[in-house]
């Protein structure tokens, strides 16, 4: 990504600058956030989305939320910080990176609880920027690790947007594709449009075209036919939360795609930073699945496409069982044929 998805402008008194992804690809518009409400709204309304980018937004949002807080002592300050993190946590319940980043901010505050409040604020500011820097690093490493799995001249399928727009760097799934492309390994990418919010059509195809890749857009229901008609060498997707078992929650449709890939013997890869693992969650069926507004399904670009009053079921995520995943690609290395033992070894090792 030549244009950063999210960045901090200025010093401690500065602000967050982020791309309003709901307007892509028609319009490239930036939002500037100076308070937690603006960040909450941006996360909730998917102006910023993608697990790692949400983590960055949450960390920066937490700092914005306590920047102007006056507190007499650490306990008061920490209670105020917890109010902020609780508030920001309500924006997207499935995204573990959100909670991971918010907890990280709390831990920093606790670690420096003997320092003056202003000093703690400075540490929190540095930590938020560090979350962004680390994400850029891990994005690069995920790309390097994953590229080796793509055969030379390969055709790759991806789903939703796990690209630069989803992270502070090059993405997760798309970091693999970018790195493989630089090595001459990727000839063609099939991008699934990803209903209901069309992140694949709007964001992934835009981002890949900007980067000069040969991308073909398809509807989500075409994947099985494409696997019969075109040679697909790999499917690479991101993840929003990975259980200790290796089961991975990702954008709704990923589970079905993994079944169809297995049927056609196409290797299915999940690319995600270590922060996506939630070791407190034993298995995929324990991951809470966010249900979103029916309007996302019944309105497209503001126009109603279904009868008034129709019932809608709109889960935002599903769970790819570890057994359908050929490998999980992280910045720390690759977990082939993931299971609880291998996950524990890489994540905690």
Interacting residues with its own copies (CB under 8 A)? 25-26, 190, 192-196, 198, 201-202, 205-206, 209, 214-226, 228-230, 252-253, 255-257, 259-260, 263, 289, 297-298, 300-315, 318
The sign of the torsion formed by the CA atoms of 335, 236, 163, 155 equals positive
The sign of the torsion formed by the CA atoms of 195, 201, 207, 213 equals positive
Distance CA 177, CA 172 (A): 9
CB of 108 to its own copies, least distance (A): 37
Parallel, antiparallel or unpaired: strands 241-243 and 234-237: unpaired
CB of 319 to its own copies, least distance (A): 8
When the beta carbons of 218 and 282 are compared against its own copies, the nearer one is 218
Distance CA 54, CA 48 (A): 7
When the beta carbons of 108 and 281 are compared against its own copies, the nearer one is 281
Element (H or E) spanning 89, and its range? Answer: helix 74-89
CB of 182 to its own copies, least distance (A): 21
**The two three-digit tokens of residue 242, written as one number:** 């990975």
CA-closest candidate to residue 335, choices 275, 270, 238: 270
Distance CA 62, CA 50 (A): 18
DSSP lists the bridge partners of residue 171 as: 163
By the 10 Å C-beta count (0-12 exposed, 13-18 middle, 19+ buried), 346 is classed as: middle
244, 285 Cβ separation under 8 angstroms: no
CB of 163 to its own copies, least distance (A): 13
Q: What is the CA radius of gyration of the chain?
A: 20
CB of 42 to its own copies, least distance (A): 21
Active site residue ranges: 240
When the beta carbons of 33 and 165 are compared against its own copies, the nearer one is 165
When the beta carbons of 142 and 215 are compared against its own copies, the nearer one is 215
When the beta carbons of 22 and 35 are compared against its own copies, the nearer one is 22
**The two three-digit tokens of residue 234, written as one number:** 């790999």
CB of 157 to its own copies, least distance (A): 11
Coil/strand/helix, residue 252: coil
CA-closest candidate to residue 68, choices 108, 124, 18, 29: 124
When the beta carbons of 26 and 349 are compared against its own copies, the nearer one is 26
């Amino acid at each position: 990504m030549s244009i950063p998805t999210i960045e901090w402008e200025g010093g401690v008194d500065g602000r967050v600058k982020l791309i309003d992804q709901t307007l892509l690809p028609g319009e490239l518009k930036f939002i500037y956030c100076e308070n937690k409400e603006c960040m909450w709204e941006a996360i909730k309304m998917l102006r910023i989305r993608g697990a790692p980018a949400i983590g960055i937004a949450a960390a920066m949002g937490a700092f914005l939320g306590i920047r102007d807080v006056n507190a007499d002592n650490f306990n008061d300050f920490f209670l105020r910080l917890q109010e902020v993190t609780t508030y920001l946590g309500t924006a997207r319940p499935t995204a573990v990176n959100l909670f991971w980043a918010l907890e990280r901010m709390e831990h920093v505050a606790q670690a420096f609880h003997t320092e003056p409040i202003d000093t703690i604020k400075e540490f929190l500011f540095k930590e938020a920027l560090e979350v962004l820097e680390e994400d850029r690093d891990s994005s690069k490493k995920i790309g390097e690790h994953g590229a080796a799995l793509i055969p030379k001249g390969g055709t790759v399928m991806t789903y939703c947007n796990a690209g630069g727009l989803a992270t502070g760097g090059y993405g997760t799934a798309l970091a693999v594709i970018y790195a493989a492309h630089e090595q001459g390994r990727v000839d063609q990418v099939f991008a699934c449009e990803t209903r209901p919010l069309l992140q694949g059509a709007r964001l992934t195809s835009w981002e890949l075209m900007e980067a000069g890749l040969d991308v073909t857009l398809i509807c989500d229901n075409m994947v099985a036919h494409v696997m019969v008609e075109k040679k697909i060498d790999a499917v690479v997707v991101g993840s929003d939360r990975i259980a200790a078992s290796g089961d991975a929650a990702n954008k709704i449709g990923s589970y079905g795609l993994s079944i169809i890939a297995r049927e056609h013997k196409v290797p299915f890869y999940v690319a995600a930073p270590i922060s996506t693992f939630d070791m407190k969650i034993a298995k995929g069926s324990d991951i809470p699945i966010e249900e979103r507004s029916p309007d996302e399904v019944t309105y497209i670009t503001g126009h109603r496409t279904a009868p008034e009053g129709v019932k809608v079921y709109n889960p935002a995520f599903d769970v790819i069982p570890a057994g359908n995943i050929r490998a999980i690609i992280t910045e720390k290395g690759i977990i082939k044929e993931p299971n609880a033992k291998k996950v524990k070894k890489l994540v905690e090792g």
